[in-house]
Structure formats: C-alpha cells, structure tokens
Amino acid sequence: MNAKISIIHEDTCLLAVNKPAGLIVHRSKIANDETDFLLDRIKEQCGSNLYLAHRLDRATSGVLLLAKSREVAGEIGRAFMAREVTKKYLAVVRGWPDAEGTIDYPLSGVREHGPRKPALTRWRTLATTTVPVEMGRYPEQRYALVEASPETGRYRQIRKHFHHVSHHIVGDTSHGRGDHNRLWRIHFQLQRMLLHAWRIEFAHPRSGERFRLQAPLDAAWQRVLERFDWAGALNC
C-alpha cells in the first residue's frame, strides 16, 4: 500500500501537500510506463476531484498546490505566470557559491534543442562545509546549503541554472556530477536529489491576503542537516 501524502494545508478552495521525492506528479506522454502518480493518490486519499495549480519535477520534494476547482487552479496558474508567487527552494550544491547572486541564463523547455526563453534565479548561501574525501586533484570536497528563488518557471530551471554556474545540485542524475553523486551515495547513503520546494507565498485566491506555506524536510534532508550542523542556518 502506498504511503499517504502529507497535507500541509487545506481550506475550501485549496489543498497543499508535501510532495515526496521520486514521485511523478501526473500522467504524461513521457511517463507512459509509470503507474504511480501523486495526483491519483491524493484524489483517492481525499475522496474528491483536485486540479494541479503548478508542478514539481519527479526528483524534487516540497510544497505542491492543488485546487478544488478548475477556476481556482486557473487563478493560481495566472499568478505564477505573472510572477506574483514567491518560491524558495533549498538545495545542496557542489562548491562554495558567493554569499548571494543571480543566474540570468535563458533555458529551453522539455525539448533540449527547443527555443530558449528568459530564466532568472536568485540565490543566497546559507551554510558551507568541507568533506575530507579525496577526489580527482582535490584532497577534500566543498559543499554548500543554498536558498534558491526562481523568478521564472522554466523546465528544471534551478537544476539547469546551478549546472550552468558549475555548482551542481547533489544527487541530480540529469544535470549534476556523477562523481559527487557517488561520493554522497557511498559516504552518506544519499539516494535522492537534494532539492526541496521549501516555501511558497502568494495571494489567497479568495481572501486576497498574502499566504505563506512551508514544507517540512524529509528524513534524508534531516540527516544532512544533522551531519553538517546546518539546522540553525534555516532560521536566518
């Protein structure tokens, strides 16, 4: 039996869940062979019809908004398109980025060779660490906990942007570094990508008031925070 999806918030028009890493959100042409989808699970769990307001990658965990009507889903979707929704992600990346910065680099969609569109991601570094494991020409490896705030919503934007600046996200098997992913699997038993949709803030579609939701981190993330004494960095 599949585990229940954790519900973060529910009201008369909205449902917010904490999406697990590794679970596809909905059926699509690129998921023909899959049989387990978050949308199907949560509909069965809640016993009602629900509509996606936005999406997260399969490998990404965190806050996912669903609407209880097509109209509300459309309103929230338009807010995303108008950049009226604030999104904050947590990621562990290779190397030590600057204290803060912006990645302004156009990206294609699902088709890698399709037309590129403007894409902007801001980040700030919350904490850093050094792992005393020799690899290549380096006697030790550097990693950082970062908060990433995408201002646009391109396909795999954060993953591609940190790849572009050579601060690859740990555990990313598509845009990351295989040698660093192996290091984390061997030394830290990490079996997932360390990218989490942490916080989201938007105008509630009925009250109009600013509304903020936060998704708790899963066990794998908690082990990382404990291992590197990073928990306090999330309070800053």
Cβ contact 124:146 at 8 Å: yes
Say what the pLDDT of residue 109 is. 82
* pLDDT at residue 1 tops 60: no
Give the DSSP letter string of 183-224: HHHHHH---S--EEEEEEEEE-TTT--EEEEEPPP-HHHHHH
* pLDDT at residue 173 tops 80: yes
pLDDT digits (tens, 9 = 90+) for 147-172: 999 999 999 999 999 999 999 999 99
Could you tell me the sign of the dihedral formed by the alpha carbons of 148, 53, 77, 157, in that order?
positive
- Please, what is the average pLDDT of the chain? 93
Say what the pLDDT of residue 232 is. 94
The CA–CA distances, whole Å, from 62 to 32, 105, 128, 188 equal 24, 24, 22, 21
Say what the pLDDT of residue 25 is. 93
pLDDT digits (tens, 9 = 90+) for 108-144: 988 777 899 999 999 999 999 999 999 989 999 999 9
Query: Average of pLDDT values for 69-89?
Result: 94
At 204, the pLDDT band (50, 70, 90 cuts) reads very high
| Torsion (CA) 110, 113, 115, 116 in degrees, nearest 10 | 80
By CB atoms closer than 10 A (0-12, 13-18, 19+), residue 105 is: middle
Q: Which pTM value belongs to this model?
A: 0.94
- Residues serving a catalytic function are 57
Say what the pLDDT of residue 236 is. 60
Which of 79-88, 103-112, 184-193 bottoms out in mean pLDDT, i.e. has the lowest? 103-112
Q: For 13-85, where are the E strands, in sequence order? A: 14-19, 51-52, 61-67
* β-pair partners for 91: 146, 195
At 235, the pLDDT band (50, 70, 90 cuts) reads confident
CATH code for residues 6-231: 3.30.2350.10
Query: Average of pLDDT values for 30-51?
Result: 82
DSSP 160: H
Cβ contact 197:87 at 8 Å: yes
* pLDDT at residue 35 tops 70: no
Say what the pLDDT of residue 30 is. 57
227 CA to centre of own chain? 21
At 31, the pLDDT band (50, 70, 90 cuts) reads low
Say what the pLDDT of residue 190 is. 96
